[in-house]
Amino acid sequence: MADGRVERGNQTRRTVLDRTMSIASVDGLEGLSLGKIATDLGLSKSGVFALFGSKEDLQLATVRAAVDVFVEHVVRPVHADPAGVAKVWRVCELWLEYSGRRIFPGGCFFYSVSAEFDARPGPVRDEVAKVRSDWTRYLERVLDEARLVGGFREGFDPADVPQVAFEMMALMELGNAHSVLHEDPVAYERAGRGILDRLRAVAAAPGELPQRPPAFTSAG
């Protein structure tokens, strides 16, 4: 019986977080309300409050759940890929697909909530900043692994890695922002072209990269 109650609690938690991730990607984390979500989902308010306790707890749980979704769509698919510029491009391609397919209705979840909390101190901002830093470090690590296996031209050194990562992230996020605001999936293709151009400029074997990105189809 105890196991059954735990499983029901876990299922309720998953149901709530599926809903809050969708809401937050459009309306922001401040748009979350424990009572309203319980009503919307036909759940017991007391049960939802028992699972999360406070709005801040719900916001933090939503951010962490969104990390799991992001990892599933962007990071895990390339886990076994060999290091190199092709893997770097594949990570970026997966990011553009994740945003363009509207895994979250508002596009990239973390782009949305970063803009909401970037100047607001507190635990939620700290969690969002940590997630952003983790993503930056991951992209830099993939780039550095490509450098270590000779994927880049002579003269490309560790100091170049953060700059290239920054530029690629900027292109991805601009593609996301433009597409969400203007309902324009072509923005992802433009971002992909910019990333490929940047990688080809420093790649030891540019031919390993496609000439053009695929046509990203937005579900928005």
- What would the pLDDT profile of 189-213 be if each residue is shown by its tens digit? 999 999 999 999 999 999 999 999 9
Residue type, 32: L
Can you tell me the distance from the alpha carbon of 110 to that of 212, in angstroms, rounded to the nearest whole number? Answer: 27
Which token pair is 214? 């695929």
Can you tell me the distance from the alpha carbon of 110 to that of 128, in angstroms, rounded to the nearest whole number? Answer: 7
The distance from CA 209 to its chain's CA centroid, rounded to whole angstroms, is 23
CB 207 within 8 A of CB 181: no
pLDDT digits (tens, 9 = 90+) for 131-157: 999 999 999 999 999 999 999 999 999
Can you tell me the distance from the alpha carbon of 141 to that of 201, in angstroms, rounded to the nearest whole number? Answer: 19
The distance from CA 136 to its chain's CA centroid, rounded to whole angstroms, is 11
Specify the pTM: 0.93
Residue labelled with tokens 């695929």 = 214
Residue 71: half-sphere exposure toward Cβ, Cα within 13 Å: 11
Q: Which domains does the chain have, with CATH numbers?
A: 55-208 (1.10.357.10)
What does each of the 220 residues of the chain score in pLDDT, given as a tens digit? Answer: 556 667 777 888 999 999 999 999 999 999 999 888 999 899 888 888 888 989 999 999 999 999 999 999 999 999 999 999 999 999 999 999 999 999 999 999 999 999 999 999 999 999 999 999 999 999 999 999 999 999 999 999 999 999 999 999 999 999 999 999 999 999 999 999 999 999 999 999 999 999 999 887 666 5
Q: Taking each helix axis as running N to C, give the angle between helix 123-148 and helix 85-100, from 0 to 180 degrees, rounded to the nearest 10.
A: 150
